[in-house]
Chains A and B, each alone.
Chain A
Amino acid sequence: MKTTIVLAVLTLLIPVAASAQDGKLNLSSLDRLAERASEKQEVTIDESMLKSVTPGLVRPGPKADAAKQVLSGLKGVYVRNYEFEKDKAYSMDDIAAIRKQLSSAGWMKIVSNEEKGKGPNDWELQEIYLFKQQDGKPGGLVILNAEPGELSVVNIVGTINLADLDGLGGILGIPHNVGNSLGK
């Protein structure tokens, strides 16, 4: 029984470590925040889903090749976006598990803005991380925006950088400046 428990614990731990090592975050710690959110948007698109629908996603056009190339490098898109009616619905402690993963090897913080004021609700955090694989190629990125009324965690896995998002967004009908000013 003890052995089983130990193995079960190890099994639980390994995916967390492995996920952080391949550019993919384990976002399960955010599930309890989802229960408190007044509005939430959760997107989970893994590699198999992307591959099965890529041909139908890109319509012919001048930017089709660029968008297909970006899509072919994607291995997953994971978004958690929560809005909270009450300002004290969550705190920085609730996202500690996420930030701990981002402190592991391979992750580089390229943008950080943290503000703390006098009041308990007077704080906010914006961070962007890039994951570099052992061969030096990009393996993922994370964008984190946290403030008392809302939390956004974006994790895009694959050989993508911020500038690539622009080409992809153009094909999918998103405004053409995603990542423009920060990705180069």
Chain B
Amino acid sequence: MNMDQELRDALQRKQAPPDLADRVLARINNGEAAPASNRGPGSSGVFRWLAAAAVLAIAAGGAETYYTQQQQAAETARVKQELQVALQITNDTLARVQSKLSQPAESSGR
């Protein structure tokens, strides 16, 4: 298996949508490219999501419930992320061990 060649094949560049440039220009002409002092990438989407979630939660059970739920969801997401990292590192390390064990015995020096 030539891993390098397989990865090159798998990760070839793909064709972008033919109208991508037109869509960007349309957004520029709509004023979206004006420098915004405090806007980070994607932040407006995050704020919209948070605002909508806040409205629903406050309507359902009050700000305190919303805050508790958000804390719990954030904690679950954090632990899940950490578990993923831990298992990925475990996976990588095991792969390395397996790789070393499957190699033929070498003389001293690499």
Contact = CB atoms under 8 A, between A and B. Distances in A.
The answer to whether any beta carbons of A and B sit under 8 Å apart in the complex is yes
Interface of A: 41, 43, 45, 49-50, 52-53, 56-57, 77, 79, 81, 111, 113, 115-119, 122, 124, 126, 128, 143, 145, 152, 154, 156, 162, 165, 168-169, 172-175, 177-179, 181-182
B88 A49 contact: no
B34 to A, nearest CB: 37
A57 B79 contact: yes
B80 A53 contact: yes
Interface of B: 72-73, 75-76, 79-80, 82-94, 96-98, 100-101, 106, 108-110
Given A41-B85, A174-B87, A178-B87, 18 more contacts: A49-B79, A56-B80, A81-B89, A111-B101, A113-B100, A126-B96, A126-B97, A126-B101, A143-B94, A145-B93, A145-B97, A154-B89, A154-B90, A173-B84, A178-B91, A178-B94, A179-B94, A182-B97
A111 B101 CA distance: 9
A56 to B, nearest CB: 4
A128 B75 contact: no
B109 to A, nearest CB: 4
Given A113-B101, A145-B97, A169 B80 contact: no
A43 to B, nearest CB: 4
Contact of A126 (B79, B84, B86, B100): B100
B97 A128 contact: yes
5 contacts: A41-B89, A77-B82, A115-B106, A145-B96, A156-B86
